């Protein structure tokens, strides 16, 4: 089983528009309301593909209750932790050319007691878990080292920990030596202070994260695919996208597929890329099901360090 922890979950409303013009009145196309948050999306992707998962979610207010209702309707196995604040709402504007504009609320602060309750909830279910995925942004006033502290607790219970976050929280988490980190291109650049313009830059930055404490690094590179960097191997994989509808949750789908396939080597990278590519072709933050996933379209091989990355990566 894979446990997911989302400290800053959300209600995600995605609105599809032809094009976004600042200051104009725009007629919307379709709209979708989905449960959101990186760990939540990982659990949703796993459920859609019949992989056992449990989501640990702090929630509060009317938005939090609506979030729990949506997840219950989807059949998500979850442990909910009531908190004093109100769960945030996010808005995504998806244009027909694939451009995505996101407006994310900061979320609600969690007290030290609430954080302890959340950690205890994870540990209570950990006896049957292979992985804990701790992911997403941190709520306001939550210390940057919270993922590092949680990682130490979970690893001490014999559970592999995957971290998917950014900024100071990512850097702090490396001190706890997580088994896996999954940054995107921008997060790689921010964490290492190195511009990522070629595949070689991405590989070098991933190796730097390993030197700082990460085990395996799975780095998503948008339209340029992903690189997987371990102690002794590097793989690069790509998968063409027939139609880009929404990139929301694509990285979460990649992490879910990678873990579902065993979190090791070329086979897991193929699965992660196939799930992520399928997610990009779906509206809102819908997660792909088996009918959406095309593993045969994924190409994995040796990385060419001179390969330039696309400007929109």
- 2-301: CATH, from 3.50.50.60, 2.30.40.10, 3.40.50.300, 3.40.1190.20: 3.40.1190.20
pTM of the model: 0.93
Active-site pick, 34, 164, 224, 252: 252
Can you tell me whether residue 53 is helix, strand or coil?
strand
Question: 113 burial class (0-12, 13-18, 19+ CB within 10 angstroms)?
Answer: exposed
Q: Give residue-wise pLDDT tens across range 133-188.
A: 999 999 999 999 999 999 998 888 889 999 999 999 999 999 999 999 999 999 99
Comparing 6-15, 213-222, 243-252, the range with the smallest average pLDDT is 243-252
* 252 among known catalytic residues: yes
User: Token pair 């939090």 is at which residue?
Assistant: 64
Rounded to whole angstroms, how far apart are CA atoms 204 and 211? 11
Q: Residue 312 above 60 pLDDT? A: no
Alpha-carbon distance values, 210 to 98, 179, 293 (Å): 33, 10, 30
In the structure encoding, which two tokens stand for residue 278, read together? 């399928």
Q: Which residues lie below 8 Å from residue 243, measured CB to CB, with a gap of 6+?
A: 281
């Amino acid at each position: 089983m894979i446990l997911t922890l989302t400290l800053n979950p959300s209600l995600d409303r995605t609105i599809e528009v032809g094009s976004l013009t600042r200051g104009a009145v725009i007629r919307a196309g379709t709209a979708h309301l989905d449960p959101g948050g990186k760990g939540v999306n990982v659990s949703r992707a796993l459920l859609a593909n019949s992989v056992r998962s449990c989501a640990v979610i702090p929630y509060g207010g009317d938005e939090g209750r609506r979030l729990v209702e949506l997840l219950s309707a989807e059949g998500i196995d979850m442990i909910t932790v009531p908190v004093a604040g109100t769960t945030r709402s996010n808005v995504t504007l998806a244009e027909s050319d694939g451009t995505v504009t996101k407006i994310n609320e900061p979320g609600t602060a969690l007290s030290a007691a609430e954080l302890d309750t959340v950690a205890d909830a994870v540990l209570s279910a950990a006896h049957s878990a292979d992985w804990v995925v701790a992911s997403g942004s941190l709520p306001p006033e939550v210390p940057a080292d919270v993922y590092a502290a949680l990682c130490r607790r979970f690893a001490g219970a014999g559970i592999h920990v995957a971290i998917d976050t950014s900024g100071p929280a990512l850097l702090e988490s490396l001190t706890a030596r997580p088994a896996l980190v999954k940054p995107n291109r921008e997060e790689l650049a921010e964490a290492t202070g190195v511009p990522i313009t070629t595949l070689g830059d991405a590989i070098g930055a991933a190796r730097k994260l390993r030197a700082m404490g990460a085990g395996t690094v799975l780095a998503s590179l948008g339209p340029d695919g992903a690189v997987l960097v371990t102690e002794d191997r590097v793989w690069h994989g790509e998968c063409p996208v027939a139609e880009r509808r929404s990139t929301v949750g694509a990285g979460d789908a990649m992490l879910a597929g990678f873990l579902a396939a065993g979190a090791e080597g070329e086979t897991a990278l193929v699965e992660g890329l196939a799930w992520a590519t399928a997610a990009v072709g779906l509206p809102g933050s819908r997660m792909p099901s088996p009918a959406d996933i095309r593993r045969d379209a994924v190409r994995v091989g040796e990385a060419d360090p001179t390969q330039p990355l696309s400007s929109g990566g």
